[in-house]
Amino acid sequence: MIRALKEVLGEINTKLTAVNDELNAKMAESVNNSRPAQQAQYCGPYKLEKTLGKGQTGLVKTGTHCITGRKVAIKIVNKEKLSESVLQKNMYHLNQTSLPGNNL
């Protein structure tokens, strides 16, 4: 059983490495092919797109995963305007979001 688990983990690691390499290549390609005025902005593996809304502490933008194409909303927080109470409120909100594969 341990041997089978090691094999599965090895396969997962190989696939994750391939995805990471592809992501790095796509991000490098995007940077090399864009002019400075049209250069895309990224947050991790997500390409930032239009702004959905703005608030006291930051803004929310749509994003698309570079490899999977999955659409998400990304909250960008301005650290200078962040207070402890707002942080606690946001952390509570983060606990309410679902994670991929979570069947609760």
Collapsing DSSP states into helix, strand and coil, what is residue 58?
strand
33-70 pLDDT per residue, tens: 655 555 778 888 899 999 999 988 889 999 999 888 99
CATH of 41-96 among 3.30.200.20, 2.40.50.140, 3.40.640.10, 3.40.50.720: 3.30.200.20
Query: Residue 42 pairs with which residues in a beta bridge?
Result: 47
- The residue extents of the domains of the chain are 1-38, 41-96
In which band, very low, low, confident or very high, does the pLDDT at 5 lie, cut at 50, 70 and 90? Answer: confident
Q: How far apart are CA 15 and CA 46, in angstroms?
A: 19
pTM value is 0.46
Average pLDDT taken over every residue of the chain: 77
Nearest-10 Cα torsion for 36, 41, 45, 49: -130
CB atoms inside a 10 Å sphere around CB 63: 22
Q: Is 54 annotated as a binding residue?
A: no
Are 63 and 43 spatial neighbours (Cβ–Cβ below 8 Å)?
yes
- Max Cα–Cα distance, the chain, nearest Å: 55
Range list of β-strands (E), 1-104? 42-43, 46-54, 58-65, 71-77
